[in-house]
Structure 1
Amino acid sequence: MISVFLVEDEIVMREGIRNNINWAAEGYEFVGEAGDGELAYPMIRELKPDIVITDIRMPFMDGLELSRLIKKDLPSTRIIILSGYDDFQYAREAIGIGVTDYLLKPISGAQLLEAIGKVSDGIRAEQDQQRFMERYRKEREENRILEKRVLFRELVAGVRSMPEILDKGKSLGINLAAGAYGIVMFQMSLCDENQKEGEITESYSESIEKATKELRAKYNEAENVQVYEQLGGVFVFLVLGKDRQQTGESMDNLLKDLEELMADKSGLHYYAGRGIVVDRIREVGKSYESASKAFAHRFLYDTSMVFDGQGGNSHEAKSASINIDEIDIGKLDRRIVTGFLKNGSLEELEHFVEDFVENTGKGNFESLIFRQYISVDLYFTVVSFLESIGYSKDEITEKLGNIGDKQASLDDTKRTEEYINDILSKALEMRDKVSDSRYSSLINGARNYIYEHFSDEDISLNQVAASVNISPNHFSSVFKKETGETFIEFLTRVRMDKAKELLETTDMKAAEIGYQTGYRDPHYFSYIFKKTQNISPRQYREKE
């Protein structure tokens, strides 16, 4: 609703304007009044009305002086001046200040309403244009984020030439030219006591979401660091520098910054993996591989850790501490495996098994008894996990076999590692089957929410993600994976399908149809319709 403030020193005139117009019925909110500019100014600054109606001749501060102050502090506020003087000099000065309209007294309520209506039309048109631009900006930004992810995957896979990578980066506003490159991987997670047993989908966490927003705000515009977000809440930082030394120092500084960022985040752990520094953009995949291998160590710890993929020792974050002498190895083994089964991937399995064997004691695997103990304990850990996510014992046995089926094949370290790989890979496949089912249920819930609320102009990805209790970033990735469309693409398609239905079956005007489908701005509705359907709403109706 358009808000109106009145400044008039003549009491009778002021009361007449205030009382003789039914402001609410006419679609306006009368927010305040004052008898002179000096009294009005602080009130206007606080109320920020859309329209100020002011007399030109008043004591203490006249209408022109007030208008200058308003335009300086609130440039979008429209000003209508009422004057009893048909003096061109006054009118010229008012125009110079930026006054919208200059009306001569006496003036009737109908004349004033007509003038206010014209000014309001201009305000609404400007507001519509601002909403149009904001929607356009959000749409472009979402597409840019998706294109950045594709670019990063191609960069890591090495499927594009250097000129192609640089050109694609430039089109996205990213300068990827550098003398050396390095990858740092980073992930936040809830401490064990804050996680629900059997939970394998990434639910919404307000603390993680808040920390994520801080991280994006800090690094999205950084010159020498590009941020890419992967499924599962993993941030991948591509660090650029003029040479190896500068890139390495920048990676050190990044890790310190991340540590400081997480210092006051109680209830959260974080893990980081640092890759090697490479000289060529085509070698970024090598840095990513070393960072990923180091990052896989996170399943071995339940405290915040930073892992170095350059061959150096892993080091704990300042808040971490661990004493191997106090650890029950049986409990440690199960915790490690369960953590990997919850959050690991098939791509990380090889690295995990290597680290698992190494940390359990490579020399111990020379003992048949130790190999059998580890294998049996691993089997029961996997069974326990699969039961926690809904599998029956019969289903587990059918997939994994019985406990004694493979014991005779554990006659050397290599075959034992192969057994561990096999049982864990099968468990991950079973987990992903359940996870896909749960994601499918989540996405169906999100779809239903969109179908019920697509006509709401302000429906957003965050709003839909919250409706299914999942973080916005994770929801965006999962939604795209499950539906093949981004959230914006799906929402737009639903709206366009409804718009076409209304064009075919009703006599509603295009503006009314736009309103019914979530577009308050008829120009934006027409723009989106023509962009997606390659035809205007009017042409579509005529064609049908």
Structure 2
Amino acid sequence: MFQVLLVDDEALARHDVKSMLDWEKHGFTICGEAYNGSMALDMMEQMTPHIAILDVSMPIMNGVELSREIKERFPKVKMIMLSSFDDYDYVRTCLMNGAIDYLLKHRLQASALLTLLDKAVQELQSEEARDAQSKMIEHLSPVILREHVANLARDTVDASEALQVYARDNQLFGKSINYGSAAVQIVPFLLMTESLTDVQKSRLVLQAIEVMQMAIGDVQKRTVGYVGEGRFIVLFSSEERSEHAVTTQMNQAMSALLHSLEKFLNLKCVYAIGPICGNLRLVGPSYIKANQELNVQHDQDLNASILKASLSMKEQKQLLLYLEQLDGERASQFITAIFAELRRQPVYGLTVQIIVSELFHLVEMAWKRHNPQTALEDTEHIPTRAELGRMGSVSELELWMVNYYARLVEAIKKQRVGGSYSRHITKALQYIADNYASNISLDMTASSLNLNASYLSRLFKEEMQMTFTEYLNRVRIQTSCMLMQSGTYALKQISSEVGFVSYTYFFKVFKSITEMTPQVYMDQLKQSKK
């Protein structure tokens, strides 16, 4: 039964309304009577009715004032106004306060009153349904919904049925006519997250999901799910009948998604849209098509049998050798040659990611050999992997990697120089680090610095506690030891690579500094590797 409160200062008028209907027959009951607004509010505090029938003209608090109070304090109560006057100002104010309609007392009929009572009931039921839906939405778990959607992309057994059951139980997609999906890939995700902990990687994924969801809209109609390894699925549902309209909506949403990821997280991504379908069961196959399209460039342009899967051991040793020699120019040329074989592949391709990961590994090896006490990520002026999120092509990635290697070589050179030296000695040490592999001398170094050779020699002895030649030989022998560890060159080749014109002189200097011959040092290295 819907409870109705009568509010009128005239007892006769209240009696007429009560006797006009068989209230219980129509589903209503009179729960109380009040003869002014103040009394009505007191009664409503004790028991709130579903509907209030209010007289406009009453003492103490008239119906207009009462309707304002009810709107503020009891917003769910439906109000029907009664008036002895057809005054539009009264009517307009009452309607603005939430009254569903008004009736003139002298024209009041049972049918008209019942029509308004039924209208009030309809509004109450609609609001109740909306409230129930809102509560359900509040309890809807986006995490669970996203996992169901992600399982479609992972081709999990019974994923489609599980999503349909969840959608039915949570009243999702009820009015949807068409569905679609998109595959999204953050590039290059693997390289960015390779050095991150699982917690850091999860945090990045969650941030990406939040930004993407914000860009595309309501999670109940457009849901982002994480598939893995930087790839996502976006499920679209639409009430549009036109597939063209749905496709247009999807493209607009995906454009906003790309823009938001780049703007808020500095991440570039690519996407492909699958076929539109009229059934939730077909979203999985739609995603498979989108996923295939995302990789179509890779499939069309390259023969899998001739793909460069990774760097060869020879290539790794050669590049590591250039780093140990601090030869930035040859390292850059070598990296450019490697990327020449990758330029036709998508930047998010597994081969590209593997090879670039190997390039990072070689950098870490070289850094540890030169500076085992300091972590590479703590080194000033070395680019961070977070910058990789901006890479949209292999060409961009190539330029970044060439710069990365060049910055590393400069950092190792500065680390070698080290110490609190005078300006002239610091420049001299830098010159040696850059040119030790060539036939340099004290005179050449002094000339490059616009100094007198005798003056530079004296400064060197005072600050370095050794002669110029002694320091130069130490740098050369230190580098030769690293080259021996790489196992790439023979001893005679190594002597020339580090700047010795004579192998005999190299042999003599090596033994003087290390107290063993180059061959003995090589033999010890072989033994330690067994």
Task: Give the TM-score taking structure 2 as reference length.
Answer: 0.29
Asked which structure has the greater CA Rg, the reply is 2
**Structure 1-normalised TM-score?**
0.28
